[in-house]
Amino acid sequence: MPIGIDLDGTAFQHPAFFAELLRVWEGKTYALTARQKSKNTLDVCDNLGLRFDEFVWDLCDNEAKSQKVQELGLVAFFDDMPEFLLSVPHSYARRLEF
């Protein structure tokens, strides 16, 4: 059961929560981000204890991110942008606020 987590405003905003979730999650984990691949981003994740199985880079708009969520068959995706929920099927859309 794979899950995905946005980086900016989500995993980077609440690193302790997401580091623990990634540690205990038994399925595959993805970081989905608009960022371009960089060693700096990988180092930040490592320093925060955010250990993903795979990174998906360059998702520059909600439509691209929504398509990737569905393509990967994610059972959950965490994102800080409520407008993203409008671009995904209702079965994926849940709002969680910290």
Residue 57's closest CA among 34, 74, 29, 81? 34
SS (H, E, C) 60-72: CCHHHHHHHHHHH
Side-chain half-sphere CA neighbours of 55 within 13 A: 18
pLDDT tens digits, 39-77: 999 999 999 999 999 999 999 888 898 899 989 999 888
Q: Band the pLDDT of 94: cuts 50, 70, 90.
A: low
pLDDT tens digits, 10-21: 999 999 999 999
